[in-house]
Structure 1
Amino acid sequence: MFSENLASHGDDTLGGRISFAREASGLSAEEAAERLGVLPSSWNAWECDRDVPRANRLTMMAGILCVSPSWLLTGHGHGPMEGDPEPERAALRRELRQASVDVEALNRRLRTIASRLDNADGS
C-alpha cells in the first residue's frame, strides 16, 4: 500500500523526502544519480537541501523512486511503498524503475541525434 501519512513527511523538506524515498527503494545515492543521469554530487546536494532539481528531473526522479511528483514536492500524495509482501508488486516496481531508466536513455539518444542533425543542417 502507498504511504499517505501526511504527518510523517508533509513537514519534511524536499531533500528529506528525496532521501527517504531513495532509501525506501533500496538505492544508494550513486545508483539513483546514475539512473537519473546526473552526478552523485548533484543528487547529494538535492538530498541535503543545498539545491533543487529542475521540474523535468523531479518528474523523472519520482518515476525512479516510485512516488508521485506531488509527494516529493509537498509530502501529499503517493509516497514510498511500505513493506509490500507481494512479490508480483515488487517485480512490477522494478520493471517500472527500469522503464524509467530506459526512457531517460532514449531521451538522451534523441537529444544527441537532434544535436547531430542541427550540426549537419548548419554545415
Structure 2
Amino acid sequence: MGEASLLSTTWFDADTTTFGDRVTGAREAAGLGQAELAKRLGVKVKTVRGWENDQSEPRANKLGKLAGILGVSMMWLLSGQGEGVESPEEASIMDDDLRVILTDLRQIRLDHAELTERMARLEKRLRIALSA
C-alpha cells in the first residue's frame, strides 16, 4: 500500500484519533474558529474547547447540529467511520468545481439540520397547545 493510500485510510480514523481530534480537525477544515463555531451552536467557547480536549461530549441535539455545521456525519465524529474530513492528498487534488459543489452540499446539510431543529421546536409547541 502506497503512502497516499495509507494516509487516506488512516486519516482521522477511530484507531488514531479521539472525538476531540475529529471535532478540531473538522472545525479547522471548515475554516471556523472555536468562537465562531460556539456562536453558531449557541454554546460557550469553553464548551467547544471541552469537546476538543475530550473533557466532554455534546448532547445528541448539539451533536447533530455540530455535524451539520462541520459537514461531517455524526457517526464519523463519534467513531471515525463514515463521512468525515478528507485527507490532505484528497483535498489537494480536488478540482475547484468539485470544491464548490461540496461546499454547497455542506451548506444544504446545515440548512437541513437547522430546519429539522425548528420543526421539532414547533411540533413541541403544537403538542403543548393541543394538550392544554
1:117 has 2:126 as partner: yes
Report the TM-score, using the length of structure 1 for normalisation: 0.72
In structure 1, the partner of 2:99 is 90
In structure 2, the partner of 1:103 is 112
Per-residue deviation, residues 64-104 of structure 1 (Å, max 9, x unmatched):
32334443233345441333441122212221221122122
1:16-55 pair list within 5 angstroms = 16-35=21-40, 37-39=41-43, 40-55=45-60
Percent of paired sites with the same residue = 34
Higher deviation after alignment, 51-60 or 97-106: 51-60
CA contact (8 A) 1:15 1:49 kept: yes
| Root-mean-square deviation over aligned CA pairs | 2.7
- Aligned with residue 67 of structure 1, among 61, 67, 72: 72
Report the TM-score, using the length of structure 2 for normalisation: 0.68
| Alignment gaps of 5+ in structure 1 | none
Q: Distance in 1 between matches of 2:17 and 2:77?
A: 10
* 1:8 Cα deviation after fit: 6.2
How many pairs does the alignment contain? 120
* 1:18 Cα deviation after fit: 0.9
Per-residue deviation, residues 14-68 of structure 1 (Å, max 9, x unmatched):
1012101211221122333344x34133322211111112345434433432334
| Alignment gaps of 5+ in structure 2 | 1-6
